[in-house]
Every structure is written in structure tokens, then in C-alpha cells.
Amino acid sequence: MGRKPPTPEGYVTRHEAAELLGVSIWTINLYLRRGLLVPHLLRDTRHYFIPRTDVLQLKEMKTRKGASFMEVRLLAMQAKAAVNVLERRMADVYEAIGLEAPPLPRDPENMSALIDEMRVPLSPEQVGNPIWIRTRAMQFFGIDQLYLELASDILETDEPWKFYVDHGISIKREAWKYVNDRPVVGEMLYRAYKTLDNSLSTLNNIAFLYCRSHFSRRTADKIFGKRKRAKSEIEELLDR
């Protein structure tokens, strides 16, 4: 394994944030899930870091006498505003490269709505519709570690990736039945299935990273040991 890149100026790691605030790494993860701190994925490093100023601001509020709940709430609102700005920038990128689906909304209402939609049993009309398949694939492409952080609270689990991966697997299972019942599959549907397969591979990579950062390398290897493609791709990325 290659060494982790140095922390960029103005940012801290989760462990450094924990030291600054005098809390455990689990508390930092809770702050990230609640929106009190917002991680940033830096392009040059491909690792998540937290702005140091955000940590110091939170520390000031924690140590200030008589700090009110509304002050902490205000900080959370500022963090949410930062996420909204990020979403708008992502939308511009999606539009520029011609993707069919916009980035996934990251507010609790929309995330819960998508989860409820994924819990509904699949129908032959859905798995036989290339537009529906591609739309779901683009949603899988839109899931990153931050999205899984937020989904963890909504799903009330420390392993949020399982819900989305299992849903993708169920689509592939039903699609297999759909194809076997028909002598010919149109080219558009075939291409849609290929896109779905690629999106699930990407989702597995993200899930491996999430598991590795929240638990341990050993745990991630154990969970994803049978997914060699996901492991090899992501390990190669981390070794750069």
C-alpha cells in the first residue's frame, strides 16, 4: 500500500479533527452525519478532508459559556448550505458531460423518497424499460461516501451500502428472468443493462472505501473479499 498523501493546507483528517475537539473518532463521524462538519473530496488527493476553520468554529461553540442550541443549529445550516453549493456545481458538471440524470438530492426528504421507491417490489415493466434501467444506473453512479454517510442515519444502519447494493442485485436478478423469457432483447435494453452493471461496480468501489474508512482494512477485505474486481480497482487507486 502506498502512503497516504499529506494533509492539504487548511484541512484536517477525521483523526486530527477528533484531537482538536477532544472527542473520539466516532463522535466525529456523528458530526459528519448530522451535518455539523462537511467533508470535502480534494481532486488532487482523492481523499476526504475537513476544513480546519469549520472544526475550530465548532470547537469555539463547544467551549463558549452559554452557547445556545440555536448557535449549533446555525452552524449545521451553514454546513447544509455548503452541500447545496456542491450539488449545484455537480449539476453543472453532469449537464456539461451530457449525463441523463441529475445528481442525487441529499436532503432527508428526497433521500427517504428514493429509499421508499427502492423498497417497492420490481415489475417486469421496469426491468424491461431501458430508460428506467439507465435512470437507476445513473442514481447508483451518484452515490459517493458522503451520500452513504447521510443515508446511514436514514436507514439506521452502519452499513448503508448494503441497501443500495442489494437493490441493484435484485434488479439484475429480475432482468435475468426478463431476458430468459424473451427470444430477443433490443439493443437499447442490452446497453442499459451494461450501464447498470458498470454502475454497480462503481458502487461496490465506493462501498469498499466507505467500509475501509469507517471500520478497518481487515473488515473491508472480509466483506468485499469475493468482489475481486472492486477490490483490485480501488486498491490500485489507493496505491497511487
DSSP 166-214: HHHHHHHHHHHHHHHT-S---HHHHHHHHHHHHHHHHHHHHHHHHHHHH
pLDDT digits (tens, 9 = 90+) for 7-34: 778 889 888 988 998 888 888 887 777 6
pLDDT digits (tens, 9 = 90+) for 214-227: 887 787 777 776 55
pLDDT, average across residues 56-71: 65
pLDDT, average across residues 77-99: 52
Other CB atoms within 10 Å distance of the CB of residue 132: 16
Please, which pLDDT band fits residue 75 given cuts at 50, 70 and 90? low
Ordered by start, the domain boundaries in the chain are 11-94, 102-238
C-alpha of 155 from chain center = 13
Report field, pTM of the whole predicted structure over 0.85: no
**What does the mean pLDDT of the chain come to?**
75
Please, which pLDDT band fits residue 77 given cuts at 50, 70 and 90? low
* Buried b or exposed e, range 170-179, using 16+ CB within 10 angstroms: ebeebbeebb
pLDDT, average across residues 90-114: 67
Please, which pLDDT band fits residue 108 given cuts at 50, 70 and 90? confident
- Name the strand (E) or helix (H) holding 10: none
pLDDT of residue 141: 85
pLDDT of residue 117: 93
Radius of gyration of the chain (CA): 20
- Is the domain defined by 11-94 classed in CATH 1.10.20? no
pLDDT of residue 191: 82
Q: Is the dihedral of CA 70, 72, 78, 81 positive or negative?
A: negative
Query: Which residue has better confidence, 5 or 92?
Result: 5
Of the listed ranges 54-63, 115-124, 133-142, the least confidently predicted one is: 54-63
